[in-house]
Amino acid sequence: MRVRELAQRLGLTFEGDGEKIISGAAELERAGTGDIAFVGSKKFWKLAESSASGCLIVSFDYPSADRTMIRAAEPRAAFAGSLMLLYPKIAPQPGVAPSAVIDSGVSLGDQVSVAHHTTIGADSTLGDRVQVLAGCSIGRNVRIGKDSVIHPRVTIYDGVEIGERAIIHSGAVIGADGFGFVPVNGEWKKFPQVGGVKIGDDVEIGANACIDRAALGLTLIGNGVKLDNMVHIAHNCQIGDQVVIAAQTGLSGGVVVEHHAIIGGQVGIGDKARIESGAVLGSGCGVLTSKIVRAGQPVWGTPARPLKEYLEQLALVARLPQTKRQLLQIQQSLDALLGPPELPMSTPTGLDPEAD
């Protein structure tokens, strides 16, 4: 694709040779003359000068240079757009593979593709242009919105509702029973999980992620939510719009995460905790049961606490060896001035000095 065409389709302007052919994309240090790369911030300007990239996507304040460039307010976002143009995904042909098993009452929209060895339970509905790739298991009375892509070996239990333009990656399990048990006569008995799962539009769910059905009611995932690989959302959680959760994070039952919160990797959140809008949970932190993380607040550590407080405590811990040495020096100075402290005389066990 020519630079001129690429810039036009991105809605941006270019400088330099608009007829140059761009056939791929790469990082700044590895890009060749046929590749496009982007300069994310000023700290990469020097690296960009030595890059062999055929075209750079740069910010508006990037210095003018004798090379081919596309300018954008957000170079990273523009680069993402260029990747979609340079590496278009090949959609499977519409139709149902011979080895797929479709139960009675299933409704398939226009141009739906169902790949080999997939099963779809009775009374389920797939919207227009939905792609279900090989080996998926879709239960009864499932709803999947138009333009969604279900990657190989995804399992969707009965009664799950998924919005439009969803992307669900391999191995994800949606609608399995929540972890609900009650003690009866010294044994754990299953608490029936009879609720459901409802997922909004434009949601992406990573590989091997799990979203449990509610015990009663619904586990809710809002619009635009992005879940990384191996994220676990337990029963009755409510995830607001545009929430981002990184890999290996687990939410216990009944957790509420409000709109636009950001949760790092390997975070653990206890039962019925609330993460308010715009809060940021640093990687590896732990939120205790019923804890509230306030709106817009960045927290870190276990138990999770405000980032400033966490950093101050971390700095104090780092200074402990130095503090110990200083205390020993002070003790030695006092001993030199006053002499060593007198130790109390010990009495042999069983002897009373006051006894006759």
Q: Catalytic site residues?
A: 235
E strands present in 65-195: 69-71, 95-96, 101-102, 107-108, 113-114, 119-120, 125-126, 131-132, 137-138, 143-144, 149-150, 155-156, 161-162, 167-168, 173-176, 181-184, 187-190
Amino acid at 16: G
CA 299 to chain centre: 16
E strands present in 181-252: 181-184, 187-190, 196-199, 204-205, 210-212, 218-221, 226-227, 232-233, 238-239, 244-245, 250-251
**What DSSP state is assigned to residue 247?**
T
Question: Distance between CA atoms of 273 and 250, rounded to whole angstroms?
Answer: 12
Helix 75-86 and helix 3-10, axial crossing angle in degrees, nearest 10 = 120
Beta bridge partners of 250: 232, 268
